[in-house]
Amino acid sequence: MTGNKIFITNGEHNLAENIIHPVLARIEGDPPGTTGISIFLVPKFLVNPDSTLGARNDIVCTGVEEKHGIHGSATCSMTLGAKGECLGYLLGEERKGMKIMFYMMNDARLNTGLQGLAYASAAYLEALNYSRERIQGRDLADFADRGAKSVPIIKHPDVRRNLLRMKAYVSGMRSFFYYAALCGEELGLGNKGEALNEAFFSLLTPIVKEYMAVMGYEVCNQAIQVFGGAGYTRDYPVEQYARDCRITPIYEGTSGIQAMDFLARKIGAEKGAAFAKLISEISQTTARAKEIKTLAPLAEKLDTAVSRLTDITQIIGKKALSPEFKTAFAHSLPFLHVTGDVIMAWMLLWRGVVSSEKLAKGCHPKDQSFYNGQIRTAEFFIQTELYATLGKMDAVAQGCPAAIEMEDDAFGGL
């Protein structure tokens, strides 16, 4: 085998006796494009018939990339066959490389979304603790009283708004990941509608990967903001969380790749039944919420957003099949993001429903604050973030073609 690979995480190290590289490659004479690609296993050391390690294979690390973040994870450039002696072993059937690779890729995409959630959760908790301890400025109610004592910054309205926004995304993403993981675990258990369930899980995958990566990074950014200047220094961990999290929208397929997959393959899966299942699942939660007096107005607003999401899905889906398909794909990422927003509202309302039911049955006073916090978090997201989502939906429906129709040279000349 001959060729080069870049951005190979831990492509070279001394923490294991051997390293096995899965490598996509084309057998000489196979057709061009992805249909002609096979996958091979390329070991660092060849393995003898008795399972002992043999000679060093002709694969070497030629460099380690300097990165913006995740400095504890070496990302290597690898050269295969520099001496013409690199051996690789076919995995599976010839010309089935892409299909085999996606078994690994889809799992990695879910893990990337989880990584975004983990960074966001850690950053939020750091910011929350700091806001409780950092004493700065008088309470806004005592602003005119120069003799008033300074208070923890968690008492300041904008800090509270920022914290609640972070909490909303972290809570919504956590529930969404658990939900998606459960859908994945249920596959292969012999349940009815297996094809639909698999399509539904596949529909959720690019949203988990892209939305949670992007919003995880956003939460890290806002955590720095809570810290103020201190957050921009290495005295606190949130600046590292932001740097490390920035890779997640790039890992395992960039944002644009996820959006193209979502629009081109996922929303139309099983003749649209997978997307219809998503709408049905959300509607079951709003129906429960409408039975609870305090949550009914939130359920109505979520229903409005779901209805609008259904409308723009039809609009962008039809445009993707028309001569204006490039314009549709220019708006595919905002379309994925508004779907993620609606799912966040769904997850938070679902939490609110469960919390309301727990409170109605009676619970420990310590738990009451937790459950009340879930209800307030749902209220905040649906009454603030979801309004912005509706505006973004209008933009997707409008389908402005400027990005497609603009001349290449016109992008210059700032």
Kindly state the average pLDDT of the residues 181-210.
91
Kindly state the average pLDDT of the residues 360-369.
91
* Under 8 Å between Cβ of 113 and 217: no
Kindly state the average pLDDT of the residues 262-272.
96
239 belongs to the catalytic site:
no
pLDDT over threshold 90, residue 111: yes
**Confidence tier at 235 by pLDDT (50, 70, 90):** very high
Counting residues of the chain whose pLDDT is more than 90, the rounded percentage is 92
> Of 96-110, 213-227, 268-282, which range is least confident?
96-110
pLDDT over threshold 80, residue 359: yes
**Confidence tier at 366 by pLDDT (50, 70, 90):** confident
pLDDT over threshold 90, residue 105: no
pLDDT digits (tens, 9 = 90+) for 10-60: 999 999 999 999 999 999 999 998 899 999 999 999 999 999 999 999 999
Kindly state the average pLDDT of the residues 201-212.
97
Catalytic residue chosen out of the listed positions 126, 210, 252, 379: 252
Mean pLDDT of the chain: 96
**Confidence tier at 102 by pLDDT (50, 70, 90):** confident
pLDDT over threshold 90, residue 298: yes
**The pLDDT of residue 208:** 98
**The pLDDT of residue 306:** 98
Kindly state the average pLDDT of the residues 151-165.
97
Contacts 24+ apart (CB under 8 A), 189-197: 195/270, 196/270, 196/273, 196/274, 196/277
pLDDT over threshold 90, residue 379: yes
pLDDT over threshold 90, residue 129: yes
**Confidence tier at 286 by pLDDT (50, 70, 90):** very high
pLDDT over threshold 90, residue 104: no
**Confidence tier at 152 by pLDDT (50, 70, 90):** very high
Kindly state the average pLDDT of the residues 145-155.
95
pLDDT digits (tens, 9 = 90+) for 300-315: 999 999 999 999 999 9
> Of 92-101, 211-220, 285-294, which range is least confident?
92-101
* Under 8 Å between Cβ of 263 and 316: yes
**The pLDDT of residue 400:** 97
